[in-house]
């Protein structure tokens, strides 16, 4: 019990503080800086305070991994030294941290504070993770971490948006939990790269980190990183932040975001859009697809409007969800560390912003008929040099990608129907509980999978994709024909359901008839 322990991985020493003996454990790979921090923590002094370690004879002991083992009966003493002037960087950080509690009036000073706090937060998180199991008492470190995290969140709430409409009541994770992206870089095989370009891509096969790497690859492959002079690390950080701001809904989640973006990437290749439109327009299409359902709450616009939610009130019942997706997208881009468009001119960014907003708002199905009709009006005279024609095409493309699940193979598409019905049923259950009008196609007591899909495929998907096919005949084989096969599949299921329902009904009628006959026979007897 009384002797120090030194294993292959850790070393234990004993120190005397205020008459009490404490145990300090550190790794054999720990730096002198880390060991001094542990000694400061044990002595109850600020971790940057210079300290000296002395043995019972008054000899000075080196504060590194070569510290000789001692015992509980002969502890070392920790002697704090006069505090040396802190570095210019630490002085700047302390001044900024003091000022943030008094005023946030100047945006550029807040931004500088945020960067400094982020750096310190990251360092502390790593310190807690790496050294957490090796330190006897790290409460002071954890308290400092919590204080810095709270300070970072307060500064973010003021920096995230230049207007005040999203600075209250919004619970949005605008920054990822690490200063640097924490997902690994995957090397995609040639088979995966080719599969990504096709509607048959199996989106269920990939975990989140792999989907992030696939999205990152798409931006590089299309030349968007070079076109917009994106910092590759900023692209990784932005994608991670996007993923963290999709909720875990059954349907409207990050996998749906990936699904829509992958279909957009596939349509760009399938339709030869790289030869027809500019990289600016491709970048807008891809970014709108990535952001189109950010922070979706799982309840559609009809519910938002009928329930008079905060979103419906804020946006005057006009596409409340789509407006919210846009707002969150640009809150994220407003952060310097997440702004993939930071190196474009202000005028170009304004154009990009207007285009992304237009495309995300186009995903509101309430506008479906108007957008489809506008595209039909120009299809026979379509001109890729006509800006308005291209804008209409972009809206059609993001609409196609957003509701394109039935274009995929049955084994990939059908699980999405289950996810969508689960989300629908959650909404109808809530509508019933709150006494709101129940959306008919969401009522679990009335809707089946074939009923949900047949009308949607016949009257929404096929007419829309057939219209796009007039401009791009090459999508017939890969997109229109699978839709027709999906329609036939669900019609067969519908017939089977009707047959089983009729058989069940005849059986129940026979049982009822037999019961009635038996009753009459008993009465006669």
Helices (H), 132-253: 139-159, 190-196, 208-221, 224-227, 232-244
Tell whether 258 and 324 lie within a shared domain. Answer: yes
CA distance 10 to 245: 40
- Tell me if 405 sits within 8 A of 413, measured CB to CB: yes
Whose tokens are 């949607």? That residue is 456
Q: How confident is the model at residue 166 (pLDDT cuts 50, 70, 90)?
A: very low
What mean pLDDT is predicted for residues 251-256? 98
Tell whether 104 and 76 lie within a shared domain. Answer: no
Residue 106 maps to a domain: yes
Enclosing H/E stretch for 324: helix 320-333
**What CATH code is carried by the domain that includes residue 53?**
3.10.20.90
Question: What would the pLDDT profile of 367-381 be if each residue is shown by its tens digit?
Answer: 999 999 999 999 999
Cβ atoms within 10 Å, residue 325: 24
Tell whether 321 and 387 lie within a shared domain. Answer: yes
Tell whether 122 and 242 lie within a shared domain. Answer: no
What mean pLDDT is predicted for residues 296-310? 98
Task: Note the pLDDT of residue 52.
Answer: 82
Enclosing H/E stretch for 184: none
Residue 173 maps to a domain: no
Task: Note the pLDDT of residue 3.
Answer: 43
Instruction: Look at residue 349 and tell me whether its pLDDT is greater than 90.
Output: yes
Residue 51 maps to a domain: yes
Give the three-class secondary structure for 247: coil
For the annotated catalytic residues, the residue numbers are: 252
Give the three-class secondary structure for 350: helix
- At residue 16, what are phi and psi to the nearest 5 degrees? -100, 125
Average pLDDT of the chain, as a whole number:
83
Tell whether 483 and 454 lie within a shared domain. Answer: yes
Tell whether 148 and 218 lie within a shared domain. Answer: no
CA neighbor of 462 nearest in space, from 404, 516, 423, 517: 404
Query: Which residues on neighbouring strands pair with residue 186, listed in sequence order?
Result: none
Residue 88 maps to a domain: no
Token code pair at residue 233: 């690390």
Instruction: Look at residue 160 and tell me whether its pLDDT is greater than 50.
Output: no
Tell whether 155 and 237 lie within a shared domain. Answer: no
Task: Note the pLDDT of residue 135.
Answer: 40
Tell whether 325 and 432 lie within a shared domain. Answer: yes
Tell whether 241 and 320 lie within a shared domain. Answer: yes
Q: How confident is the model at residue 164 (pLDDT cuts 50, 70, 90)?
A: very low
Give the three-class secondary structure for 137: coil
Based on the structure, what is the number of domains in the chain? 3
Question: What would the pLDDT profile of 337-346 be if each residue is shown by its tens digit?
Answer: 999 999 999 9
Give the number of residues written for the chain: 525
Q: Which domain holds residue 155?
A: 100-159
What mean pLDDT is predicted for residues 239-267? 98
Task: Note the pLDDT of residue 217.
Answer: 97
Instruction: Look at residue 270 and tell me whether its pLDDT is greater than 70.
Output: yes
**What CATH code is carried by the domain that includes residue 330?**
1.10.1300.10
Whose tokens are 């995957």? That residue is 186
Q: Residue 209: CA atoms inside 13 Å, Cβ hemisphere, count? A: 7
Task: Note the pLDDT of residue 328.
Answer: 98
Instruction: Look at residue 175 and tell me whether its pLDDT is greater than 80.
Output: no
Percent of the chain topping pLDDT 90: 58
CA distance 273 to 201: 19
Q: How confident is the model at residue 53 (pLDDT cuts 50, 70, 90)?
A: confident
CA neighbor of 13 nearest in space, from 63, 58, 64, 72: 72
Identity of the highest mean pLDDT range in 22-31, 69-78, 409-418: 409-418
């Amino acid at each position: 019990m009384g002797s120090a322990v030194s294993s292959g991985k850790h070393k234990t020493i004993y120190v005397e503080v205020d008459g009490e003996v404490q145990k300090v454990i550190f790794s054999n790979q720990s730096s002198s800086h880390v060991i001094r921090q542990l000694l400061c923590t044990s002595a109850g002094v600020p971790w940057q305070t210079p300290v000296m370690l002395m043995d019972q004879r008054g000899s000075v002991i080196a504060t590194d991994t070569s510290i000789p083992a001692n015992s509980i009966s002969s502890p070392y003493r920790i002697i704090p030294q006069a505090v040396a002037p802190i570095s210019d960087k630490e002085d700047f950080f302390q001044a900024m941290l003091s000022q943030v509690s008094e005023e946030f009036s100047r945006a550029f000073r807040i931004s500088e504070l945020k960067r400094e706090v982020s750096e310190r937060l990251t360092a502390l998180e790593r310190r807690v993770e790496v050294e957490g199991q090796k330190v006897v008492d790290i409460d002071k470190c954890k308290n400092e971490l919590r204080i810095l995290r709270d300070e970072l969140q307060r500064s973010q709430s003021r920096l995230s948006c230049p207007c005040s409409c999203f600075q209250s009541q919004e619970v949005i994770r605008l920054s990822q939990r690490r200063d640097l992206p924490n997902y690994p870089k995957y090397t995609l095989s040639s088979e995966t790269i080719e599969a990504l370009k096709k509607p048959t891509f199996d989106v269920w096969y990939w975990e989140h980190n792999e989907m992030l790497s696939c999205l990152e690859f798409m931006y590089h492959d299309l030349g968007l990183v070079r076109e917009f002079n994106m910092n590759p690390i900023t692209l990784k950080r932005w994608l991670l932040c996007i993923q963290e701001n999709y909720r875990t809904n059954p349907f409207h989640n990050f996998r749906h975001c990936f699904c829509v973006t992958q279909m957009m990437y596939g349509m760009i290749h399938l339709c030869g859009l790289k030869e027809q439109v500019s990289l600016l327009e491709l970048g807008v299409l891809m970014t709108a697809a990535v952001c189109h359902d950010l922070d979706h709450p799982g309840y559609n616009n009809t519910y938002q409007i009928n329930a008079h939610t905060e979103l419906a009130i804020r946006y005057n019942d006009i596409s409340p969800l789509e407006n919210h997706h846009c707002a969150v997208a640009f809150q994220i881009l407003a952060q310097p560390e997440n702004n993939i468009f930071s190196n474009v001119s202000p005028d170009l960014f304004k154009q990009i912003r207007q285009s992304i907003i237009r495309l995300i708002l186009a995903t509101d199905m309430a506008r479906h008929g108007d957008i489809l009709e506008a595209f039909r009006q120009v299809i026979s005279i379509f001109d890729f040099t006509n800006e308005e024609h291209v804008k209409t095409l972009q809206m059609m493309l993001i609409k196609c990608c957003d509701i394109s699940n039935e274009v995929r193979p049955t084994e990939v598409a059908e699980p999405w129907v289950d996810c969508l019905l689960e989300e629908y049923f959650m909404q109808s259950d809530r509508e019933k509980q709150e006494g709101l009008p129940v959306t008919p196609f969401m009522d679990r007591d009335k809707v089946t999978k074939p009923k949900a899909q047949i009308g949607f495929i016949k009257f929404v998907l096929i007419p829309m994709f057939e219209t796009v096919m007039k401009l791009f005949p090459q999508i017939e084989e890969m997109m229109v024909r699978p839709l027709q096969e999906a329609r036939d599949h669900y019609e067969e299921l519908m017939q089977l359901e009707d047959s089983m329902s009729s058989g069940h009904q005849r059986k129940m009628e026979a049982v009822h008839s037999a019961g009635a006959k038996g009753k009459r026979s008993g009465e006669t007897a």
